[in-house]
Structure 1
Amino acid sequence: MDILHLSTSDIDNGGARAAYRLHDGLRSIGCTSKMLVRAKFSSDPTVIPEGSPLTKLGPPISGLPLRLYPKCNSSMFSTQWFPDVLAKRVSQFNPDIVHLHWICNGYLRIETLPKFSQPLVWTLHDMWPFTGGCDYNRDCEKYKKSCGECPQLESSRASDLSRWVWNRKAKFWQNANLTIVATTSWMADCARSSSLFKNRRIEVIPLGLDTEKYKPINRQVARELLNLPQDKQLVLFGAINSTSDARKGFQFLLPALQRLSVSGWKDQIELVVFGASKPEKPIDLGFNTHYLGRVHDDISLALIYSAADVMVVPSVQEAFGQTASEAFSCGTPVVAFDGTGLKDIVDHQQNGYLATPFEVDDLAKGIAWILEDGERQQKLRFEARQKSLREFAKEVQARRYLSLYEEIKGASVSEGFVKSS
């Protein structure tokens, strides 16, 4: 089976890392797998930069329509109108399956998708594929119809940029040989409720990771290497732009920590944050805080997870939540809200704690519940690691996808035979 993955990049963000991990997993079980990317950050020879002059122009020019909406966060909205040469490049590889991942930031034009002759699989790393341009809908449900009057554009017009993007997707994707894969049941339900994907086949396959790289490391050793205290309970929070992106939930973690601080935990807990550097004007979190900045390599991340007593992932919306599955693989229990993709990862009071959305008191209660009982914490750590091995190992994910590829390829060959006869 020959698979070609299309992804804007390979390892520089969550969606890219997820795509690369699948690519790596497929190769580990004997598949021929390559990645074609706009921006390459790894040294892996099976990751190929797309390389055309259009590649450099895509990101800045693709965002030009958003200048009509100056209040919109351009990093959260993508129009994908700028031309590309991907149909020609993909034909040169001639794979059995073209697997789409996160393809925004000026990489793959909406109109290009039906030009691929191969069956398509698309893994949903966010909601963009079935919205009018936003990566997450927040509280808006217009993607269930045809978008327009987009709150993220702060638009009051029905025929706005989001309606234009939605119309293009509806027109050019309607006859595509496309199978959708959601990483959690929540994302699958969102896709099924959308006007664009309601009639599509939608499967659920969790994201995978290398459980030999992400594995428990002696806590004392991990803390010594990271220069973290040995005599405190460490609460970990991490994400790209973890303290500035409201979707990541820092606004809930902050008051939860402050409440723990005044309820008897002040001298027992310290906080560790990765994905953000120490701000010029530090926020009073109620505890001493260690900022580790941006972390890219797997070994450093495994050390960080292993050093912590509990990982908190208070996201408002999350397609999956790789920081939670990574923490699990290192044997660290997770506290999260009982909503969106994270509820597929965390099993309440079995390997972590699911707090009532978005109740700060229950979030604080969950952190305390894990920390207050050492024997319980050890059981949670064991169960977290076992779930990772059972559900999130890269080989498990790869075999699930291989089964899907083979089914899709077989069906396509059969349909082609029927049509030609």
Structure 2
Amino acid sequence: MKSLLLSTFDITGGAARAAFRLHQGLRKIDIDSQMLVQYKTSSDRTVIGAQNKPEKWLNQMRPTLDNLPLNLYAGDTSGKFSPQWFPDLIQSKIKPLSPDIINIHWACGYLQIESVAKFTQPLVWTLHDMWMFTGGCYYSLDCDRYLKSCGACVQLQSQKQQDLSRWIWQRKAKAWKQMNCTIVTPSIWLADCAKKSSLLQNFRIEVIPNGLDIQRYKPIEKKIAREWLNLPEDKQLLIFGAASTNHPRKGFNFLLSALQSLEQAGYKDKIELVVFGSSPPDEQKNLGFKLHYLGNLNDDITLALVYAAGDIFVAPSVQDNLPNTVMEALSCATPCVAFNIGGMCDMIEHQQNGYLAQPFEVESLAHGIAWILSDCDRLQRLRQRAREKAEQEFSQDLQARRYSHLFSKMLSKQHIKNKS
């Protein structure tokens, strides 16, 4: 069986890393997997990127050209919205590879909407956000217009029903009407959203959690991790990770408010905050707590050290699928605190391997942090269960075998259909 995974990136960003881990997992169980990407960063020979200068030049221009329609709207859509109208060359790149089955991952900026329906191979589409069933946004936040046909898009700040989001929704509805595709979502929450959506309500939808190499992300002695990272050994460390602390969806402001609440509760000289994935702002506010900014980290070894160095990983997102950061932290035996939203409850077992706070209640978030830190024996039990959860449900091998089983079933059906 030859599988081909399509992704805009191979290892840049959470969705790409999840796809790359699946690709590695499939190869480990002897599936002939290749990965076709728009931007290749890794040195993996089974990942295929742009192969000539014209293609690389087009890749550089594509995001700007694809986002041109957004200039007609006042909304801040940077990193939040994708029209997917610009033509691509995907068919000419897939044909010589002759895959038996195609698995699309996060491909915004890479594939034109209309191209997907032209694939002749059985198709599995793994969703890493809500884009496939919305009028262009990656996450709908408080909007439920994707249940019908979008239009008057809040994120575009549009008042017109016949706006860009409605046009994108209509293109998807037309192109994907007869598409032979199985949808995979990593979280139960995203599957429920997809099933309710007007675009995907008639598609087969499976839930397969992401996986990771639990031998790379594993418990490490806290003292050793902190020594390597030059972090204090006499403080309780909270870890936060995101590409940007300014992105509203990641909820960093809720964490800062929770820290202020903890300061008033007597934690001022006990807690320090470690932030990775983001650089320090030009003007840092005095939060009453010391902050350590580690910058952008891409290699698994350093990330595992960061998680292991922390007492708690905090993920205060307001909407999220199945974030890699939480899974990675659990695998390193670090309890997690998050709001009870999205796919968080698929990973965090309340008061068993972390704490699920009431959505968007700062005091509940602060209470969850304090509840974990206030009892050393409890913290140790949470750490043990965190690692067990990762081993039982989120290993790379388990994910790969689940996909392999799905691929085999789809190919068998295709074989029977072709014979008849």
When normalised by structure 1's length, the TM-score is: 0.97
Match of 2:129 in 1: 126
Match of 1:179 in 2: 182
Residues 1:140 and 1:73: Cα distance change in structure 2 (over 3 Å):
same
Verify the 8 A CA contact 1:36 1:50 in the aligned structure 2.
no
Partner SS, residue 282 of structure 2: coil
Match of 1:164 in 2: 167
Residue-by-residue CA offset, 1:68-98 (whole Å, 9 max, x unaligned): 1133323211011111111121121111110
Partner SS, residue 122 of structure 1: strand
Task: Supply the distance in 2 between the matched residues of 1:257 and 1:97 (Cα, whole angstroms).
Answer: 48
Aligned residues: 416
Match of 1:282 in 2: 284
Verify the 8 A CA contact 2:74 2:157 in the aligned structure 1.
no
Match of 1:326 in 2: 328
1:341 to 330, 340, 343: 343
Match of 1:148 in 2: 151
Sequence identity, in percent?
55
1:103 to 107, 111, 132: 107
Residue-by-residue CA offset, 1:6-51 (whole Å, 9 max, x unaligned): 0001011011101100001111111111110000010111110044
Match of 1:401 in 2: 403
- Alignment of 1:206 with 2:209, yes or no, is yes
Partner SS, residue 117 of structure 2: helix
Partner SS, residue 179 of structure 1: strand
Task: Supply the distance in 1 between the matched residues of 2:287 and 2:48 (Cα, whole angstroms).
Answer: 44
Residue-by-residue CA offset, 1:123-153 (whole Å, 9 max, x unaligned): 1101001100000001111101011100000
Any gaps of 5 or more consecutive residues in structure 1?
Answer: none
- Read off the aligned partner of 1:388 and give its amino acid letter: A
Task: Supply the distance in 1 between the matched residues of 2:278 and 2:263 (Cα, whole angstroms).
Answer: 22
Match of 1:310 in 2: 312
Task: Supply the distance in 2 between the matched residues of 1:72 and 1:293 (Cα, whole angstroms).
Answer: 25
Verify the 8 A CA contact 1:63 1:74 in the aligned structure 2.
no
Any gaps of 5 or more consecutive residues in structure 2?
Answer: none
Task: Supply the distance in 1 between the matched residues of 2:175 and 2:287 (Cα, whole angstroms).
Answer: 49
Verify the 8 A CA contact 2:246 2:252 in the aligned structure 1.
yes
Extract structure 1 runs of 4+ deviating beyond 3 A. none
When normalised by structure 2's length, the TM-score is: 0.98
- Alignment of 1:252 with 2:254, yes or no, is yes
Verify the 8 A CA contact 2:80 2:138 in the aligned structure 1.
yes
Verify the 8 A CA contact 1:66 1:72 in the aligned structure 2.
no
- Read off the aligned partner of 1:92 and give its amino acid letter: P
Verify the 8 A CA contact 1:90 1:116 in the aligned structure 2.
no
- Read off the aligned partner of 1:182 and give its amino acid letter: T
Verify the 8 A CA contact 1:149 1:157 in the aligned structure 2.
yes
- Read off the aligned partner of 1:137 and give its amino acid letter: S
1:200 shift after superposition: 0.4
1:286-301 counterparts in 2 under 5 A?
Answer: 286-301=288-303
Match of 1:78 in 2: 82
Task: Supply the distance in 2 between the matched residues of 1:101 and 1:403 (Cα, whole angstroms).
Answer: 18
Task: Supply the distance in 1 between the matched residues of 2:344 and 2:326 (Cα, whole angstroms).
Answer: 8
Task: Supply the distance in 1 between the matched residues of 2:166 and 2:176 (Cα, whole angstroms).
Answer: 15
1:244 shift after superposition: 0.4
Task: Supply the distance in 2 between the matched residues of 1:280 and 1:98 (Cα, whole angstroms).
Answer: 44
